Amino acid sequence: MAYADTSTTTRRTGTAIAVLALEAGLAWALINGFAMKGEGKLRDTFTAIFIPKEKQPPPPPPPPPQAKDRPQPRDVPPVKAPETPFDALKGGGALIVPTGPIAEPGGGEIGEVRFPEIAEPQPRPTLAPRLARPRGNPGQWVSANDYPTRDLAEGNEGLVRFRLEVSAQGKVTACTITQSSGHPGLDAATCDKLPRRARFDPASDATGAPAAGTYSGAVRWQIPG
């Protein structure tokens, strides 16, 4: 009995030691595992280094085309001029012109060449030249509203005679005072209004074609009563 109890006690003691050793090993493994896990964590910051790409050498130039690859010239046939009725007169590459006397008509040779008479041009009938004619009423070219303010205030009145140059299109190109009123303001107002307002049927020449002309007239500046 004493032997059996001792053996049993020894086995229990060994088992307890083994269990303690196993638990200690597990605890050590867990502690080391947590420590390794903490050490393996990535850092919050890192440094990136960019390595430039190496330059590649340029590709070699293509080989020159071979002679068989080049376009070959083609034989182009010469262009021949079409035949004309004058080819029969050519001999040895030159035109044969008769140099002997010209025979009478009907003799089998080149006869005398006769040209028909050209009638003299008949002269075109002449027309009486026409002067430039005003369109509308010339009395409406200037009105009382055109009276110069200074001359109106000073009571200046007078008769202004003028001559207008009219183009072949019926437009006034120039104005000339042929007789002054004695007041420069009235004379200037006359040649200021007329070229802008006067319209004409152009003059015509002896053939009836439009031509440049002139038109003469007068403006009486009078203060309305």
Q: Cα–Cα distance between 52 and 67 in angstroms, integer? A: 44
Place of tokens 């040779």: 109
Count of other CB atoms within 10 angstroms of residue 186: 22
* Cβ-contact 119, 154 below 8 angstroms: no
DSSP label of 168: T
pLDDT digits (tens, 9 = 90+) for 158-181: 999 999 999 999 999 999 999 999
Residue 142 lies in a domain: yes
More confidently predicted of 221 and 43: 221
* Residue 100 exposed, middle or buried by CB count within 10 Å (0-12, 13-18, 19+): exposed
CATH classification at residue 209:
3.30.2420.10
* Cβ-contact 204, 127 below 8 angstroms: yes
Residue 145 lies in a domain: yes
More confidently predicted of 107 and 167: 167
Q: Does pTM top 0.85 for this prediction?
A: no
Residue 151 lies in a domain: yes
pLDDT digits (tens, 9 = 90+) for 188-199: 999 999 999 999
Q: How many domains does the chain divide into?
A: 1
DSSP run (H or E) holding 4:
helix 2-39
More confidently predicted of 210 and 91: 210
Residue 5 lies in a domain: no
Average pLDDT estimate for 196-211: 91
More confidently predicted of 193 and 225: 193
Residue 208 lies in a domain: yes
Read off the pLDDT band of 30 (50, 70, 90): low
More confidently predicted of 202 and 48: 202
Q: Cα–Cα distance between 157 and 187 in angstroms, integer? A: 11
* Cβ-contact 151, 186 below 8 angstroms: yes
Residue 80 lies in a domain: no
Predicted confidence (pLDDT) at residue 78 exceeds the cutoff of 90: no
Residue 179 lies in a domain: yes
Q: Cα–Cα distance between 91 and 186 in angstroms, integer? A: 88
Predicted confidence (pLDDT) at residue 8 exceeds the cutoff of 60: no
Q: What 3-state class would DSSP assign to 196?
A: helix
Return the half-sphere exposure (C-beta side, CA atoms, 13 A cut-off) of residue 158. 20
Q: What is the pLDDT of residue 26?
A: 66
Q: What is the pLDDT of residue 101?
A: 59
Predicted confidence (pLDDT) at residue 150 exceeds the cutoff of 90: yes
Q: What is the pLDDT of residue 89?
A: 56
Range of the domain at 183: 133-221
Average pLDDT estimate for 2-29: 58
Residue 52 lies in a domain: no
Read off the pLDDT band of 4 (50, 70, 90): very low
